[in-house]
Structure 1
Amino acid sequence: MTAAKQVMVIGAGIIGASIAWHLSRVGARVTVIADSPAGGIATPNSFAWINASWGNPEPYFRLRTRAMAEWTRLAQDLPGLPLTWCGGLCWDLPAADMQTSATEHTTWGYGIERIDRAGVARIEPNLTDLPDFALYVAGEGVAEPVAATRALLADAERYGAKIISSMVTALVQAGGKIVGVETSHGLIVSDEVVIAAGVGSPEIAATAGIRLPIETPPGLIVHSRPYRKLLNGLVLAERLHMRQTAEGRIIAGSDFGGADPGMDAETTARDLFAAMKAMLRGGEGLELDFHTVGYRPTPIDGFPIIGRAEGMDGVYVAVMHSGITLAPAVGLFAAREVLEGERDPLLAPYGLSRFAQ
């Protein structure tokens, strides 16, 4: 590794922040550039569920469980990181599918268990509508997304990273290599550019002829005003997923990606909040504070894009949904690959080349 390598990270969401932090702490000269505040666009609107659930194929399950372990490591390296292993309850699947999922995940070593109605009531005593059974994973958790991103960026600055507020207008090429970026404040040169700009990544990559096949589905999440503690962990019920934040807000979507905002987001938000309130015993005093509509940078096959763009040196891409779960592992793996050329085997299925025609 060349400790003095200059790396430009485009994007200040949780993925960009994690990559910048991991690069900075091993001596790279890092500049983070973004045209939005810490957290970017998708991160502040995230449900922030850290998990390896939901019937993913085993290779992706292995990446996600590694990422969960890296969250524990990251919290040890960065004390005060807003991370909680609160556990997750799920019954948002047909009964047969839940049983299949539980069996499969148990075979893979995931700490998933089937619990009955009484068990659900013990874990979440304030739910008004209980299922006959649910799946429970005690080892799932949440990271408060914006606070975690800010903590990573602040510590990266302590290691010497620079944070610049500007808009990237183009990647700059010379001799078949990306050598920097054009911004609204002029040219900035670097040895390597990392594109981690979420929904803005395809437009930036296209300036160098790199196609990123990404969709950006919207998701609406409602946020209550801070309230006394009603939920102990994550609740993934039929058509309603919710949790309580560190500051006491209960947030909810029709699933963890958020609700379809429809033609009238205000009405959708009010209806969703009413459904959430009805599901919580003792929630009569809950008040809707605001709703968010986030756009998830989701590659068309549903899996992350992580790695170098073939045929163009000097540029690395890290764009994905499930950014909260994957952030610490992606930061670690990307830093190693950018600085040492070492690609972790867990990333093998997730290169951009898989989309080549």
Structure 2
Amino acid sequence: MAISTAHPLDLPRHQAFWSLQAGGWLAYFALGSLQAVAYGKPAGYWIVPFTAACTGFVATAVLRQLLRACWRLKPAQLAAAMVLPMLAASTVMNLTSRAVMLRFCEDCAPANHLEFVAHSLGYIYVVLAWVGLYLGIKYYRQFQDEARRTLAARSMAHQAQLKMLRYQLNPHFLFNTLNAISTLILDRDNATANRMVQGLSSFLRHSLDNDPMQRVTLRQELDALTLYLDIEKIRFAERLRIETDIDEDCWRALLPSLLLQPLVENAIKYAVARQVAGGLLRIEAEHDAGQLVLRVIDDGPGCSSLEGNSLPPGKGVGLRNTRERLSVLYGEAGGFSVRNRERGIEVTLRLPFETSQTLGD
């Protein structure tokens, strides 16, 4: 038989209250019984703390209903509304327990009204402690609920933001590809047009079927990138030259799906397409001090408006999206930089080096 080890505060509210209520007053009864033994009370005196505990159990259950009804009041108003009910609960506990106590101590009856009032307040500290504990737990659970809602809302916002960034396919790429297919059809090069349509179909299917929240290995990322590059190779033929330099242990590293595609697309658009002779596209990956370092390098004309690590205004949408994805996913643990080389531009991404083994999959 399975034994539940759930913490009382983790139980549903109704169940948690009655578990704590029963446990608390049972502990109060046990403490009262031990005190009776310690002070040499006669046999059967346990009935006095038992009566006080039972009365307290019922009285505080009523107080709970009043607290729930007044919960939306301001703290000062809530305190004022509970003064009389708390005094009444203390008085009831005192009257019932003292009625039983008189069986063991006839001299314990109050001699006058003032003594009666003083005795009636004898249990006020117990009631105050119960109310304080109840309010503390209730405020704690309310804080926990608000924290969970905030985290859930933040998580949903991050996921929506990542999906938006991930699904922003460059319209220039689609336009250029469809335009190239149309030209091939007009030139009656149906075989090449068909290959380009199939390549575009495979790339779009991969882009839309992949969950943007899912991470893939670098090998899977480059396989997906090949689908995109196959289309561009048909467009540019020998003008597009591709090189890769991947450290052996980087193939299994995890990264967000299609992270490199916008960077490669940006390099082709601004470096390869603008040069009659085309250009070189180089992709590098290395493992450096617990980080996966990715570089996309071209040998194009560079960007004269690039200052430091800031992107030029109005350009590089793919670069901005990639930087934003890294920021949302990794925060300060990720890094993005772009710089002009002697010839061309180098974009460097840094993210934690993680594999399926390090994540415990």
Does the pair score TM above 0.5? no
- Could you state the TM-score of these two structures normalised by the residue count of structure 1? 0.21
The structure with more strand, counted as a fraction of residues: 1
- Could you state the TM-score of these two structures normalised by the residue count of structure 2? 0.20
The structure with more helix, counted as a fraction of residues: 2
Max Rg structure: 2
Q: Relative contact order (C-alpha < 8 Å, sep 6+): which is higher? A: 1
